Structure 1
Amino acid sequence: MVTFYMVNDNVHSSQPKGLTETNSTQVTEAFAALANETRVEILLVLWSAMDPRPETDASETLPSFVELYDRVKYDQTSNFQYHLEKLTGQFVNKTDEGYRLTTSAKRVLSTVLAGTVTDAPSFAEERIDAACMLCGTSTIVDYSDGVLTQRCPSCDGVSQEPNEPEGVIAKEYRPPVGLKNRTPQEFVQQGKTWQRHQRHAFIEGACPECSGTITTTISVCDDHDSHDLTVCQHCERVHEIDASFVCDVCKSSIRTGIWNTILTEVAVIAFFHDHGLDTKALEDKFEYGVLFDAVEQVTVDAEEPLEIAVKVELDGDSLTIILDDEADVIDVTERVRKAP
């Protein structure tokens, strides 16, 4: 049996919030405003005119109505005005210097230009210079539908969920534009810093996609049989205690072993550093095994309220981190080995 501990207070809800009638109407109106070739062309012209470099005077690059009309190459001035008015406010701002994109418009266009909704590149079974955290075998990565999957070809990995390949170590979203002018190897390695920031944002309670609040769910497998680092038959995962983070607004999410959440804590980073290990560099190199090997014990310390104890040990020194039901650190205790 798997027991779920889910935060449910004034900030977090027991499940991601659904669309209300009000914001459903807003979403419909936003899509309707963009459902026209001329309006999209207006946005693209304004995007091209935008120059965020500090040495550029932004007001000098903003096109006037006439300049915008000429660049879009539309036939009828009256109809062009109509389309521009449909965008004004939500996607376009009119200023004394000219027209500019709103922040919302920039977000929409950046999503499209990143290839998220237009491109579908993929590759399979690319071997990377990173060992499996469980058995030490060199791992491989696949990329499809915007998801990068790290797998071990020799063991069960950390989870075995329906419709997933065998040996999954980690799965994470990666925008397709990262593959542009890069080999799969470069794509994997150069995107790790970006991915680390995404993961840490979830753990620290802010959605990296929309800045929305996060619902945290901690799951504990009460009948865990994976102490030999194989996938448990009951929960289908290696880790006895997992943490899931789901955005209340856009429903972006990650799931990870609870031990992984301690890597944002300054005391933990310092402890590893004092023993010659850089947690940031190890995360960026997919070298989770070095970090995982240092985790001596993960246990439920208390149930009401929930507290999880994660004990890390290096060179005889230990650090015990207590996490609450939101996977936040509430206590840290260090024990240093006495010199002989």
Structure 2
Amino acid sequence: MVGSESDDSPLAVVADAADPAVVELFELLGNETRLAILLALWESFDPFDPANGMSFTALRDRVGIPQGAQFGYHLERLVGRLVEKTGSGYALRPTGLELVQSLVAGVGREATLDPVEIDVACWRCGGETVLTYRDTWLYHVCTDCETVIDDQEVDKRFPAGLLFGEPYPAAILSDRTPEEIYAAAVTRLLQQQTLRMNGVCPRCLGVLDSSTWVCESHEPGPAGVCPRCDAKWAVRIRRSCSVCKYWELDSPAGMVMQPDVSAFYRARGLELALGVNEFERARAVMTQLPTHEETVLSTDPVRTRVVVQFEGDELCLTYDEAMNVLEVDERDGVGE
């Protein structure tokens, strides 16, 4: 029990904080031999080999465990959860493969990308911008309007001139030009938003719980950020996953993958569903998205209007408190 003077391990003490299967998985990983087995199976993994797997002897030799040293015991502990028996011996199950892949993708927490110029104009001032990566976060920053964000108004981890910042595994930097990094980041950003809008957790595919919060005294300062809520928009959509505790703050204006919005852009030649390394389209999408306008029509019940503008045409959407679309009004030639 928590707080008792027992011989329970720290893992046992907090066991009531997670699903028993999760606690068991952590316990399984608390052994160097088992971790070595997982890594060895990952090294030998070939997704296109129908006979994928390692024999007991080959696996034991690769791990470097002498015969009779309880290697079989540790291997069997993993079978059924992270490892499976195949016709060729042993291989990682999808859960085991995903576990090792997530660790490999995250390797390089100290990986950095010094500010590098990228051919994307700042949507605020038209100035030059750079990409930079530090502490597992990728930032797109304007170098010409650095003072637009006041350190007193937003989280200090964000650099001045921030256009967008998201956490990404260090692997996003691998074998990519700055333009390819940018395109990959935008592609993932839009894919995650599609999942979130449909109530699906981008991390574990669990169900997202959503709630709407409104800053009733919203008053953006010179930086375009309200000092009361640290946000540009008054309406915030809070999404969280009860399974893996993924969380996200969104806004109605950011719901660009909403079907009506996607169709509006597509009809005018801007496709939001990006392909691999489509830098030009990624740049066009990210230049357009911040131009949306948001207005709180009422707070009880919550009603929000978002106006999407593109090439002189407008799309007006009215959302309820659950971010369901109540009204859609498309008008052509408004800006002409």
**1:268 shift after superposition:** 1.5
Q: Structure 1 residue 232 and structure 2 residue 223: aligned? A: no
Cα distance in structure 2, aligned partners of 1:124 and 1:49 = 34
Q: 1:203 to 1:337 in 2, by over 3 A?
A: same
Unpaired segments of 5 or more residues in structure 1? Answer: 1-18
State the partner residue of 2:18: 23
Q: Could you tell me which residue of structure 2 aligns to residue 307 of structure 1?
A: 303
2: distance between equivalents of 1:200 and 1:227?
30
Instruction: Give the secondary structure class of the aligned counterpart of 2:70.
Output: helix
**Which residue of 1 is the match for residue 11 of structure 2?**
none
Deviation at 1:118, TM superposition (A): 5.1
Cα distance in 2 for residues equivalent to 1:267 and 1:196: 15
Change (3 A) 1:188 1:78: same
Distance 2:333 2:172 in 1: 45
Q: Tell me by how many angstroms 1:215 deviates.
A: 2.7
**Residues 1:166 and 2:166 aligned together:** no
Q: What residue number does 1:267 align with?
A: 260
Number of positions where the alignment pairs a residue of Structure 1 with one of Structure 2: 313
Tell me the secondary structure at the aligned position of residue 77 of structure 1: coil
Give the letter aligned to residue 31 of structure 1. F
Q: Which of structures 1 and 2 has the larger relative contact order (alpha carbons within 8 angstroms, sep 6+)?
A: 1
Match of 2:10 in 1: none
Measured after TM superposition, the shift of residue 280 of structure 1 is: 4.3
| Distance in structure 1 (CA, Å) of the matches to 2:161 and 2:210 | 26
1:302 Cα deviation (Å)? 4.4
* Counterpart position of 2:79: 88
TM-score where L is the length of structure 1: 0.79
- Asked if the contact 2:214–2:299 (Cα under 8 Å) also holds between the matched residues in 1, the reply is no
Alignment pair present for 1:35 and 2:30: yes
Equivalent position amino acid for 2:260 in 1: A
Partner of 1:9: none
Task: Provide the rounded CA distance (Å) in 2 between the counterparts of 1:315 and 1:119.
Answer: 42
- Find the partner of 2:237 among 220, 239, 243: 243
Q: Which amino acid aligns with 2:163?
A: I
Contact 2:108 2:170 in 1 (8 A): no
SS of structure 1 residue aligned to 2:148: coil
The aligned counterpart of 1:67 is 58
Matched letter for residue 43 of structure 1: L
Counterpart secondary structure, 1:192: helix
Relative to 1, partners in 2 of residues 1:326 and 1:267: Cα closer, same or farther, differing over 3 Å?
A: same
Name the residue aligned to 1:120. Answer: 110
148, 151, 154: which one pairs with 1:156? 148
- The sequence identity of aligned pairs, in percent, is 30
Could you say what secondary structure the match of 1:212 adopts? coil
Return closer, same or farther for 1:242/1:137 CA change in 2, 3 Å cut-off: farther
